[in-house]
A = this chain, B = another copy of it.
Amino acid sequence: MILSDRLSTILNAVVHLYITKAEPVSSEMIVSYYGLDISTATVRNDLKLLEEFGFLKKPHTSAGRTPTDKGYRFYVDQLMQKDVDYLSDEEKQEIRDEFNIARDYNEIMRVTSVLISRLTNNLGVVLAPNMIKDTLKDIHFMALNDQRILATMVTNSGLFFQKIMRVNCDISEENLKTISKIIKKEFYGKSLEVVNEEMLNQIYCYYFKYRTLDSIWELIENCFNFTEEEAKIFLGNRSYILRQPEFKEIRRLNYLFDFIEEEKNLISIISKSILKKQIDIVIGSELGQEAMEDCSVITRQYNLKGKIRGAISVLGPTRMNYSKSVSVLDFIANELSEILSE
Contact A150 B154 (CB under 8 A): yes
- A148–B304 alpha-carbon span in the complex (Å): 15
How far, in Å, is A109 (CB) from chain B's closest CB?
12
Contact A253 B242 (CB under 8 A): yes
Contact A142 B163 (CB under 8 A): no
How many copies of the shown chain assemble into the complex?
Answer: 2
Q: Specify the main secondary structure of chain A where it touches its partner.
A: mixed
How far, in Å, is A97 (CB) from chain B's closest CB?
15
For A158, list chain B residues within 8 Å (CB).
Answer: 144-145, 148
- A50–B194 alpha-carbon span in the complex (Å): 71
Q: Choose from B105, B140, B238, B342 the contact partner of A238 (Cβ within 8 Å).
A: B238
Interface residues on A, range: 35 or more
Taken residue by residue from 199 to 230, chain A's Cβ proximity to chain B (1 for < 8 Å, 0 otherwise) reads as 00000000000000000000000000000000
Interface presence of A119 (CB below 8 A): no
Stretch touching chain B among A22-30, A243-251, A307-315: A243-251
- A139–B300 alpha-carbon span in the complex (Å): 38
Interface presence of A33 (CB below 8 A): no
For A166, list chain B residues within 8 Å (CB).
Answer: 342
Interface presence of A42 (CB below 8 A): no
Interface presence of A331 (CB below 8 A): no
Contact B342 A145 (CB under 8 A): yes
How far, in Å, is A165 (CB) from chain B's closest CB?
9
Q: Choose from B103, B106, B152, B254 the contact partner of A239 (Cβ within 8 Å).
A: B254
Smallest CB-CB separation from A236: which chain B residue? B261
- A residues neighboring B (CB under 8 Å): 103-106, 138, 140, 142-145, 147-148, 150, 152, 154, 158-160, 162-164, 166, 237-239, 242-243, 247-248, 250, 253-254, 257-258, 261, 342
